[in-house]
Amino acid sequence: MRIVIVRDYEELSREAARKVKTRLAARPDLKLGLCAGSTPEGLYKELVRLHRDEGLSFKRVQTFNLVEYLGMGPGDPNSLGFFISENLLRRLDIPETNRHVLDGRAENPEKHCRWYEDLIIKAGGIDLQLLGIGRVGHIGFNEPGSSLASRTRIKKLDEQTIQDNSRFFPPGRTAPERGITLGVGTILESEEILLLASSANKAEIVSKAIEGPVTNQVTASILQLHPKVTVILDEAAASCLERKEYYKYAEEQRRRKGE
């Protein structure tokens, strides 16, 4: 793991966007895995700015959404597909045919999951998967206890996840209890992974994921076994790391070498 610690959320978002921009320059037909939630919002805003102000093109990019609520289609204003579309996709020049989404309203959700897995394989796999981390340590909707070899599937959400998601729903509407998610095994097959975490309420689980044992009780910990993971944290999210100063030192050495 490469651990990058920055000052605040704004710097985190810019650093993440630079990472995506670098990968896109090296591979214009990048297969990009997209996550939802409040953490990547700043990154998406910065990518939109780079496209609008600096002409960064996404014309050959293919995108794959990481999660969706079961029972919601991408047109539902509270769906995760709608969130990603509104905050990123509709503001870029990615062709509609290159935007791949999970549909929580699929007539046969299990079959839909298998279709989505095949879609990723036919595309040649995901080159760069963007991830956040939940307060229970999940990546995607792979909640504690998930199989570390799991594939795209329906998953019952943890009570903490449901509570955290409820802030995105209007009064009187409860957050869904189930979702569709890329599996842990599917995520691990990505060529490269970029994990983002911000704020003090993520600090404890971040330390478990990075410095704790690999366990399905903190599914993000499996990323320790992936050969190419970059974790970008703001100071608050990094505050519980025991080796924080070492990570800062190592990153400074990389930057001096131009890595």
Alpha carbons 202 and 37: distance in angstroms, whole number: 14
From the list 5, 33, 57, the residue with the least C-alpha distance to 192 is: 33
* Residue 175 DSSP symbol: P
Residue 167 has pLDDT above 90, yes or no: no
Average pLDDT, the chain: 96
- pLDDT digit string (tens) for 104-157? 999 999 999 999 999 999 999 999 999 999 999 999 999 999 999 999 999 999
Whether the pLDDT of residue 168 is over 90: the answer is: no
Domain residue spans of the chain = 2-256
pLDDT in tens, 198-234: 999 999 999 999 999 999 999 999 999 999 999 999 9
Q: Specify whether the CB–CB gap between 157 and 179 falls below 8 A.
A: yes
Q: What is the pTM for the complete model shown?
A: 0.96
Predicted local confidence at residue 140, as pLDDT: 98
Fold of 2-256: Rossmann fold (3.40.50)
